[in-house]
Structures are given as C-alpha cells and as structure tokens.
C-alpha cells in the first residue's frame, strides 16, 4: 500500500511534469531554478579556469605531471578549460536534472576545438573558438526570434523575470552583441600576440559584457514581472 500523497501522485503522472533533458521555457510553470550566483559561476567559471591555467601553466604542470606532456601554457589552459566545462555541466545536471542549453552548446564546441588544439598542438583552434561560439550564439538568438523563441530567457531567468516583449528585445540586442564580439575576436587574434589575446579574452570580453548588461537595466526594469505573490505595479 502506497502512502504517497494523491497530489504528488497526480503530479508524477502528469505528462507536463515529466523530466526534461534540456531546460524548459523561462516562464514555464515548475521550472527548476538554481541560485543566480551559482549559475553565474557554472557558466563563467570555466573561462576563469582557462585564464588562470594559462597564466600559471608551468606551475600547474610541475604539480600535475601528465599535464607537462601536453605542451605550453595555452595547451594546459585548454585541457583545464575542457575539464572545468564538463564539471560545470555535470553540476547543472545534478542540481536541476536538465542541461542548460547555451552552456551546453558552448561546452560541445569547447570539447571539440579543445581536443583538436591538444591533438594537433595548434593554438589557432582555441583562438577561433570564441569567434565560432559568439557567432553561433548570435545566429541562435536572432534565428530563434524568427520562430518566436527568446532563447536568452533560458540563460538569465534565474536572475530576473521579464515579460515576453522584454525577453524579445533583450534577445535581439544580445544577438547583435554576440556577432559584434565575434568580429572583435577575429581582429584581436589575427593581429596581436597570444598573450594579448588571452588578456583581452578575460579583461576585455568580460568588462564589455558587464557594461553592455548594465546598459540593458532600463529595459529590464520596464519589462520586469512582479515577484510571485507580489501585486502587479509594486
């Protein structure tokens, strides 16, 4: 005899309550959320790991012997980047039983281009990766709008809640921003040293993204939805 609460049984039997492999729409009922700070760590953490591992590649290789056979600092950084990306996706799955769409797409490209970088010992592959990822994100975001999908909501819904129009405008702006950053990466890696490219990847890309995000605050305030239990207009 089962002591399971009837409400729980009906929820388990409801097809709409079935687990999803990928995260659901931003405003979908029952969507699982994780702490916004933790989500940011999971999505930006691998990039910080790459920067640190590249800067301290020789130090890391001395303490982790098998990394010494990989190559120079950028190859050590690439290996650590791949590991960190796999860990971040695994943690996301453990917490929500779904895979975050945007980090997943980025992770696939990281693993593919990272493997090519380590196998061929050609740093060009890892340098081109941001161009491909940013271009892909830009095309996905802008292409999704053509089908009425605001994919940006899948990334930022844990941080704030917007109405459909707000997500649409924000997705459009970020789509164009990603394409612009793809162009910037092409200019940087083709015309400057590897060290300059790595420095710009962290200290250039990140500040530009932060500034761009801050410029979107007025839009987000206009289209913010009230918190659950809060009366509209408050």
Q: What is the dihedral of CA 17, 22, 28, 32, to 10 degrees?
A: 80
More confident residue, 41 or 158: 41
More confident residue, 8 or 124: 124
Number of H helices and E strands in the chain, helices first, is 11, 0
Position 201 confidence tier, pLDDT thresholds 50, 70, 90: confident
More confident residue, 214 or 59: 214
Position 112 confidence tier, pLDDT thresholds 50, 70, 90: confident
More confident residue, 199 or 104: 199
Q: Residue 67 contacts by C-beta under 8 Å, 6 or more apart in sequence?
A: 60, 61, 76, 79
Mean per-residue pLDDT, 104-119: 72
Position 13 confidence tier, pLDDT thresholds 50, 70, 90: very low
Q: What angle do CA 61, 109, 199 make, to 5 degrees?
A: 55
Mean per-residue pLDDT, 164-172: 89
Position 2 confidence tier, pLDDT thresholds 50, 70, 90: very low
pTM, two decimals, is 0.58
pLDDT at 29: 54
Mean per-residue pLDDT, 82-105: 76
**CA Rg, the chain, in Å?**
20
Task: Give yes or no for residue 168 having a pLDDT over 80.
Answer: yes
Mean per-residue pLDDT, 191-210: 86
Give the separation between CA 222 and CA 224, rounded to whole angstroms.
6
More confident residue, 75 or 29: 75
Q: What is the pLDDT of residues 27-71, one digit of tens each?
A: 555 556 666 677 777 777 777 787 777 777 777 777 776 666 666
Mean per-residue pLDDT, 191-212: 87
Q: Which of 25, 7, 36, 17 is nearest to 151 (CA)?
A: 25
pLDDT at 6: 46
Give the separation between CA 191 and CA 85, rounded to whole angstroms.
28
């Amino acid at each position: 005899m089962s002591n399971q609460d009837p409400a729980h049984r009906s929820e388990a039997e409801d097809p709409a309550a079935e687990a999803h492999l990928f995260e659901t729409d931003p405003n979908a009922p029952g969507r699982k959320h994780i702490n916004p700070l933790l989500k940011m760590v999971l999505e930006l953490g691998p990039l910080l790991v790459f920067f640190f591992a590249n800067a301290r590649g020789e130090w890391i290789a001395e303490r982790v012997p098998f990394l010494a056979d990989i190559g120079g600092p950028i190859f050590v950084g690439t290996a650590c980047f791949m590991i960190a990306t796999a860990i971040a996706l695994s943690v996301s799955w453990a917490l929500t039983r779904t895979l975050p769409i945007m980090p997943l797409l980025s992770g696939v490209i990281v693993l593919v281009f990272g493997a090519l970088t380590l196998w061929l010992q050609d740093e060009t592959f890892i340098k081109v990766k941001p161009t491909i990822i940013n271009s892909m994100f830009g095309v996905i975001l802008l292409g999704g709008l053509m089908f009425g999908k605001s994919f940006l909501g899948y990334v930022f819904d844990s941080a704030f809640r917007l109405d459909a129009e707000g997500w649409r405008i924000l997705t459009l702006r970020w789509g164009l921003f990603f394409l612009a950053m793809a162009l910037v990466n092409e200019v940087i890696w083709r015309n400057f040293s590897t060290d300059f490219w790595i420095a710009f990847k962290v200290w250039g890309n990140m500040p530009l993204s932060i500034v761009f995000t801050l410029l979107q605050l007025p839009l987000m305030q206009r289209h913010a939805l009230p918190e659950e239990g809060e009366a509209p207009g408050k």
